[in-house]
Amino acid sequence: MTGTPDEKSLKGLFIRTYGCQMNVYDSERIRDVLRPLGYAPVDAPEAADLVVVNTCHIREKATEKVYSELGQLKRMKEASGGRMTIAVAGCVAQAEGEELIRRQPAVDLVLGPQAYHKLPEMIARASRAIGDRLETEFDTIEKFDALPKTREADGPAAFVSVQEGCDKFCTFCVVPYTRGAEISRRVDDIVLETRSLASQGVREITLLGQNVNAFHGPAPAIEGGDDWTLGQLCRHLSRIGGIERIRYTTSHPRDMDDDLIAAHGDTPALMPFLHLPVQSGSDRILKSMNRGHTADHYRDIIARVRKVRPDIAIASDFIVGFPGESDADFEATMQLVRDIGYAIAYSFKYSSRPGTPAAEMHGHVSEAVKDERLQALQALLRQQQTEFNASQIGKSLPVLVTGKGRNPGQMHGRSPYLQAVHFEGPESLNGQIVDVKIVGASLNSLTGELARVREAAL
């Protein structure tokens, strides 16, 4: 590590992030890795010496966005007289790195999601115009070990990566190819990172993983050193001073074990919100997707979680128009949604991804039918989301204050159920958990009145 760079040696860094929360986390870590080299964030790509585009490959549209962004950056690079370095990171970099360099020669560096700890070395090589411009090896363990153990917090809520990669191979999905095999981080490292965040005022952590509940990281030697489950990890982290709220995302029904379900009942810091993607309500389609569970198995998990934590808010992801999906299959999805009742859900039209088994399947569904189904599903989900939000009116909720609201005097924060909450209050509340009486609700947020300021935590 070098010391803090003086003003003159600062270089501008601009990171554009697409895709999931894992990419958001990775972008923060890229910033951490580059800080000792004198890179400091700037507000616009034009002002940057280094632009990192952290990409997503999940659907065709996401990938296309990357190429159009790179076109714009190329023009900026030319205007800068070639001073700007363009790096492409993330899942498109992993999936089609060679093609990226061919399609957009203005790109200087390409690095996959498991290689960004090598960025300093790559930048040095690029400046001397030697060596490879492409790093897409899967060195996940090496990456975890190479990352700085402590981090700079940015507000009272933070992501902490605990698991990466996916071995599930759903037939529609590119993630197992772009992120590699399932690997868990060591509990010691997770604790160090969480403590460092807590000491900077972080109150809420969200544990991240492509299949976060497949976590099986080695426990500290003092605790026996065996592998721990996510439930054990959550209980352990909840004892770190200052950490009042724990969330995790995204989980898979197959890894929803009894202990994790029990943790929702016995660990008050574990927030009453569960994002458990199901994709479809039809057993035939679930089988063809290789999800490894039935719709009833999913219903059963939700019932068991609700038994130990009756107020838990359930979230999910859905795909409509998977190859072979009939009207009856789609109706089974609608029925599952009616049965569960979601607080929030994300739904997508199936997008055929080259190299995945589903791309080769028969019975691709027309765009028109996909559109129709998506509209029907989203109308139902919107109705449920609106009802869930309205059900909070009259309650007093503990809200983690995350910043100033849009209007003067207004603050915003998040409820235990991950709803955005707006209320009038002083700026000094930022970072605290306060009680807010909910007086209004809409599709996307709640409004409330400050009821009680608790004693500042710690």
* Residues near ligand SAH (CB under 6 A): 58-59, 172-173, 175, 210-211, 250, 252, 277, 279, 317, 319, 348, 350-351, 353
Contact between 176 and ligand SF4 (CB under 6 A)?
Answer: yes
Q: Report angle CA 317, 341, 156 to the nearest 5 degrees.
A: 65
Which one of residues 175, 270, 274, 381 is an interface residue with ligand F3S (CB under 6 A)? 175
Q: What is the C-alpha separation between 219 and 132, in angstroms, rounded?
A: 37
> Which partner from the list ligand SAH, ligand SF4, ligand F3S, none does 176 bind, CB cut-off 5 to 8 Å by kind?
ligand SF4
381 or 434: CB nearest ligand SAH? 381
Asked whether 454 and 432 are in contact (CB, 8 A), the reply is yes
110 or 276: CB nearest ligand SAH? 276
> Which partner from the list ligand SF4, ligand F3S, ligand SAH, none does 348 bind, CB cut-off 5 to 8 Å by kind?
ligand SAH
Pairing relation of β-strands 420-424 and 445-453?
parallel
213 Cα distance to chain centroid: 14
21 or 238: CB nearest ligand F3S? 21
Residue 14 Cα distances to 7, 22, 133, 153, angstroms? 17, 18, 19, 18
404's enclosing H/E stretch is strand 396-404
Q: What is the C-alpha separation between 16 and 65, in angstroms, rounded?
A: 12
22 or 243: CB nearest ligand F3S? 22
> Which partner from the list ligand SAH, ligand SF4, ligand F3S, none does 441 bind, CB cut-off 5 to 8 Å by kind?
none
Asked whether 88 and 55 are in contact (CB, 8 A), the reply is yes
Q: In the complex, what is the shortest distance from the CB of residue 141 to ligand SAH, in angstroms, rounded to a whole number?
A: 20
Q: In the complex, what is the shortest distance from the CB of residue 403 to ligand F3S, in angstroms, rounded to a whole number?
A: 25
Task: Please report the DSSP string for 333-371 in residue order.
Answer: HHHHHHHH--SEEEEEE----TTSGGGG-S-PPPHHHHH
Q: In the complex, what is the shortest distance from the CB of residue 17 to ligand SF4, in angstroms, rounded to a whole number?
A: 18
182 or 329: CB nearest ligand SF4? 182
Contact between 19 and ligand F3S (CB under 6 A)?
Answer: yes
Residues numbered 182 to 221 that lie near ligand SF4 (CB under 6 A) are 210-211
Letter string b/e over residues 175-185, b meaning 16 or more CB atoms within 10 A of that residue's CB:
bbbbbbebbbb
The dihedral of CA 81, 85, 88, 94: what is its sign? positive
31 or 236: CB nearest ligand F3S? 31
Asked whether 160 and 189 are in contact (CB, 8 A), the reply is no
The dihedral of CA 238, 243, 245, 250: what is its sign? negative
Which one of residues 48, 110, 173, 365 is an interface residue with ligand SF4 (CB under 6 A)? 173
**193-196: long-range pairs with CB below 8 Å, 24+:** 193/149, 193/150, 193/151, 193/160, 194/160, 194/237, 194/240, 194/243, 195/240, 196/149, 196/150, 196/151, 196/153
Residues numbered 181 to 210 that lie near ligand F3S (CB under 6 A) are 210
Residues numbered 217 to 276 that lie near ligand SF4 (CB under 6 A) are 252
435's enclosing H/E stretch is strand 433-441
Letters for 339-358 (x = contact with ligand SF4 by CB under 6 A, - = none) are --------------------
Q: In the complex, what is the shortest distance from the CB of residue 211 to ligand SF4, in angstroms, rounded to a whole number?
A: 6
Which one of residues 33, 87, 91, 263 is an interface residue with ligand F3S (CB under 6 A)? 91
Q: Which amino acid is at 384?
A: Q
Contact between 90 and ligand F3S (CB under 6 A)?
Answer: yes
Q: In the complex, which residues of this chain contact ligand F3S (CB under 6 A)?
A: 19-20, 22-23, 56-58, 90-91, 174-175, 178-179, 210
Q: In the complex, which residues of this chain contact ligand SF4 (CB under 6 A)?
A: 166, 168-170, 173, 175-176, 210-211, 252
